[in-house]
Structure 1
Amino acid sequence: MTKLHHYVGACSIALCTLLSTDVVAEVELVNKDHIFNDHDNFKLTSHGSLRLQALNFDHYDASNEGQKYRRNGYSAGSRIYLDADYKINDDLNLISGYQNFINPAKILDWDGHYVEQDEKIRTEQLYFGLSSKQYGTLKFGKQYSVYYDVVGSKTDLWDYDTIGQAQTWSPFAYVDGTQAARKMLRYEKKNKYADLYAAYLFEDESLPYKRKSGEELAIDVHLNKELSWATSWKHNRASLQYDDEQHDFSQQVLATALFYFDGKWLAGAGAGWYKNTLPNYSAFNLPTAQQAKQYLNSKAYGVEYYLGYNFQIAHHGLQSIRPYVMGNYLKYTQGDDFYRQDNGVGVAVRFDHGIGFDYERLYTSDTMNTPDMHMFRLRYDW
């Protein structure tokens, strides 16, 4: 796999993991009392987002040739959520969450708006758990990582972001758990002053990568009602196999982020350090016996920032306009000489009935000479 091919895939991961900072109104599908006794309740809700996006680079070269089809418009992170909640009593609930990424262009065979390797549907999360007001929440299944949910999401505020984060570049982001992971047991306890998180990742395999075990810890401190500060630590024991060669190693991710929102100003800043998580493509130039050992022998760090201001309009069908500035920086310190820096400006416009439009102008400097870019996105959120 070349660096170019991985970068194209990495951007797809980043685009698919973006969180909307806008309030989403859930659709209540079921809300029924007295299922088994006089005190219980069952609720099933849904929400989602359809997103049609176009990328227009200033020019096309070896770094972005494979993304030409995206000028036509493609589905970027369209998703559907289902959440089930069964209230046993005033303290205890059974919960379940399901999230699917969908690709309407691929489903409808909209020629020129997808590539063959795109998936029609991908299950992003599927978990079950218990929630207690007194003792916290315990969930098991396929879930987003504690690292992403607690720290990464605080700067995942624009539509072409997370490029400074580990999961964007990891070749195994859905097995090593930098983005999401199956077989994860996750606990969280929230209170007025801080939210505490812990997770254990059981053995999982997706050749050539095998996760033997993993641990995550995080804390999100509420400095005041507008400002929070989160820090997370992640560790994996893993192995990598190429041909008959196998290499055992450990992975580390340490990250922190600040998030501020007062109803008008929206700001996020974060940084992370990644060991044996990002790929070292020069390993493919080595003898086969050395590739497994060197492919993830790397260290890197990344930073991200975002600052926006929300103008509430609420007139003539226009709800709000939020201009913003944003950027990121990723740099290898071991294993490769790759770096990338983005800075840009954008605007998010929200209309009535869940309709929105986003525009971003991105200025990029990196070792692949990636051109500058315009990004356009139409969205419908429900």
Structure 2
Amino acid sequence: MLKKTFVIGFCAIATLNVNKAYAEVELVHQDKIFSDQDSLSLKTRGSMRLQALNFDQYNKTNESQKYRRDGYSAASRMYFDLDYKFNENTRIFAEYQNYFNLPKIFDWEGHYGKNDEDFTTIQAYGGIENSKYGTLKFGKMYSIYHDVVGVKTDLWDYDMLGQAPTWSPFSFFDGSLVSSKTLRYENKNKYVDLYAAYLFGDETSKNNMTYKLKSGGELAADIHLNKKLSLGVSYKHNEARLNDSINSHDLSQDLIASALYYFDGKWMLGAGVGWYKNLLPNNSALNQQTPVNLEQYLDTEAYGFEYYAGYRFNVQNHGIQSVQPYVMGDYIKYTHGDDFSRKDYGVGVAFRFNYGLGFDYERLYTHDNKSTPDLHLFRLRYQW
């Protein structure tokens, strides 16, 4: 009951504090606490996303997702940002990001999966930033690959199907999407943003095996070709282990990816490609006896690419801020370890209204060797 009351109260506060345009909600702001230059602030922001997927047909590839046809929470999220500035050059900060599942919280039967959680912590980290020396962060956070490369094509709703995190069984631990114990350094200037990270050991269990990240490293650069166009490149390497109660198997994991992003206020264009070694699963290996299943499960290589092209019509009338039609697509292909490929392409349109409201529609066509059906996607969103 307490968690339900919290969510209701939080959403009410957010609704009361937003204006016609998207805005953060400032919960605390205090200047001159210990000196004439310092300040403390606590802000929140986020979005509620209710989505429905209407597949053209239901078969064994998507039978378990029928609840999504009637509407479900599509990664609704909220952020809390704590910031203490010593002066204009130096600050310490902390960020917390959480996915919340309203249908699960309110037990809206038929609108969530049986294994869904009420709340899922996505990021929880702190750090220090200096205008001269850069930024140092530690904690649970998105990977450098996601922040520098992945976001450049993460521009539509049913997306990221050409990226490793969508397919990786351990994306919240191997650092393809998130890692729980990351030490990260950033240094940004007018021409290029440089990133480096070290991933400390972590582990999780799935499919009757344990994945152990022994260590990992990431490097990336976001090159500003001009004010409207940027190029991101990223590399990551992990040393990991799979084991069951008797056997174990050591492996190395690698990811190399790059993406371009262009936005001039109207045209929004994104294109990216990546190569993934020992990150995507060979699910047929689960039928093998140990230790063969351990040796073959992540013994794979694959590549993927994604693209997006949209044009924003700024309306600013009758409560409509903008309308953005777009085309999009992706492709994933195993070159070793499994016989699987998938191609998606389609069209969509994104409406943005006053008061943080929005509506998206996508029509997606899929071709793969699992007979995955085409679908219609509908998403309602509210941002604060």
What is the TM-score normalised by the length of structure 2?
0.93
Corresponding residue of 1:92: 90
Q: Secondary structure at the match of 1:67?
A: helix
Corresponding residue of 2:380: 378
Structure 1 residue 285, shift from structure 2 partner:
3.2
Structure 1 residue 282, shift from structure 2 partner:
2.1
Q: Secondary structure at the match of 2:88?
A: coil
Alignment partner of 1:30 is 2:13: no
What is the number of residues matched between the two proteins?
A: 360
233, 243, 246: which one aligns with 1:241: 243
Corresponding residue of 2:198: 200
The AA in structure 2 aligned to 1:312 is: N
Cα distance in structure 2, aligned partners of 1:127 and 1:198: 16
Residue range with higher mean Cα deviation, 283-292 or 100-109: 283-292
Corresponding residue of 2:179: 181
CA RMSD of aligned residues (A): 0.9
Q: Secondary structure at the match of 1:115?
A: coil
Cα distance in structure 2, aligned partners of 1:135 and 1:141: 20
Cα distance in structure 1, aligned partners of 2:67 and 2:288: 34
The AA in structure 2 aligned to 1:356 is: G
Cα distance in structure 2, aligned partners of 1:333 and 1:52: 36
359, 362, 378: which one aligns with 1:360: 362
Corresponding residue of 2:12: none
Moved over 4 A (4+): none
The AA in structure 2 aligned to 1:167 is: P
Cα distance in structure 2, aligned partners of 1:134 and 1:289: 51
Cα distance in structure 2, aligned partners of 1:284 and 1:221: 41
1:322-347 CA deviation, whole Å, 9 max, x = no partner?
Answer: 00000000000000001110000000
Cα distance in structure 2, aligned partners of 1:230 and 1:51: 28
325, 328, 339: which one aligns with 1:326: 328
1:138-183 CA deviation, whole Å, 9 max, x = no partner?
Answer: 0000000000010000000000000000000000001101110111
Q: List alignment gaps of at least 5 residues for structure 1.
A: 1-22
Q: Tell me, yes or no, if the aligned pair for 1:24 and 1:47 is still in contact at 8 Å.
A: no
Corresponding residue of 1:338: 340
The AA in structure 2 aligned to 1:203 is: G
Cα distance in structure 2, aligned partners of 1:116 and 1:67: 10
What is the TM-score normalised by the length of structure 1?
0.93
Q: Tell me, yes or no, if the aligned pair for 1:242 and 1:291 is still in contact at 8 Å.
A: no
1:76-118 CA deviation, whole Å, 9 max, x = no partner?
Answer: 0100000111001221100100000000000011111112210
Corresponding residue of 1:349: 351
- Map 1:257-336; keep pairs closer than 5 Å: 257-336=259-338
The AA in structure 1 aligned to 2:345 is: N
Corresponding residue of 2:55: 57
Q: Tell me, yes or no, if the aligned pair for 1:322 and 1:347 is still in contact at 8 Å.
A: yes
Cα distance in structure 1, aligned partners of 2:375 and 2:113: 20
Cα distance in structure 1, aligned partners of 2:185 and 2:139: 12
Corresponding residue of 2:118: 120
Cα distance in structure 1, aligned partners of 2:264 and 2:47: 25
Q: Tell me, yes or no, if the aligned pair for 2:22 and 2:355 is still in contact at 8 Å.
A: no
Q: Tell me, yes or no, if the aligned pair for 2:282 and 2:297 is still in contact at 8 Å.
A: yes
The AA in structure 2 aligned to 1:225 is: K
Structure 1 residue 242, shift from structure 2 partner:
2.5
Cα distance in structure 2, aligned partners of 1:188 and 1:45: 22
Structure 1 residue 359, shift from structure 2 partner:
0.1
Structure 1 residue 206, shift from structure 2 partner:
1.2
Corresponding residue of 1:47: 45
Corresponding residue of 2:134: 136
Structure 1 residue 24, shift from structure 2 partner:
4.3
Q: Tell me, yes or no, if the aligned pair for 1:278 and 1:299 is still in contact at 8 Å.
A: yes
Cα distance in structure 2, aligned partners of 1:260 and 1:336: 34
Q: Secondary structure at the match of 1:31?
A: strand
Corresponding residue of 1:166: 164
214, 217, 231: which one aligns with 1:215: 217
1:207-259 CA deviation, whole Å, 9 max, x = no partner?
Answer: 31000000000000000000000100000000001231100110000000000
The AA in structure 2 aligned to 1:39 is: Q
Q: Tell me, yes or no, if the aligned pair for 1:313 and 1:320 is still in contact at 8 Å.
A: yes
Q: Tell me, yes or no, if the aligned pair for 1:26 and 1:47 is still in contact at 8 Å.
A: yes
Structure 1 residue 318, shift from structure 2 partner:
0.6
Cα distance in structure 2, aligned partners of 1:288 and 1:62: 27
Structure 1 residue 31, shift from structure 2 partner:
1.2
Cα distance in structure 2, aligned partners of 1:176 and 1:119: 21
Cα distance in structure 2, aligned partners of 1:246 and 1:304: 35
Alignment partner of 1:156 is 2:158: no
Alignment partner of 1:109 is 2:107: yes
Q: Tell me, yes or no, if the aligned pair for 1:251 and 1:275 is still in contact at 8 Å.
A: yes
The AA in structure 2 aligned to 1:288 is: T
Q: Secondary structure at the match of 1:284?
A: helix
